[in-house]
Amino acid sequence: MKVEPTKLPGVLLITPRVFADDRGWFLETWRRERYIEHGIGPDFVQANASHSSQGVLRGLHYQWPEPQGKLVWVSAGRVADIAVDIRPSSPTFKQWTRVDLDADHHQQLWIPEGFAHGFQVLSERATFNYLCTRPYRADADAAIAWNDPDIGIDWPLPPAGLSDKDRRAPRLADLDRDRLPS
Q: How far apart are CA 107 and CA 51, in angstroms?
A: 18
Q: How far apart are CA 79 and CA 58, in angstroms?
A: 11
| pLDDT score of 144 | 98
Domains and CATH numbers, the chain: 2-172 (2.60.120.10)
How many other CB atoms are found less than 10 A from the CB of residue 136? 14
Phi-psi category of 10—alpha, beta or left, where left has phi over 0 and alpha has psi -120 to 50? left
The band of 31, judged by pLDDT with boundaries at 50, 70 and 90, is: confident
Q: CB–CB of 53/157 below 8 Å?
A: no
| pLDDT score of 95 | 98
Q: Report the catalytic residues.
A: 61, 130
Q: What is the pLDDT of residues 57-95, one digit of tens each?
A: 999 999 999 999 999 999 999 999 999 999 999 999 999
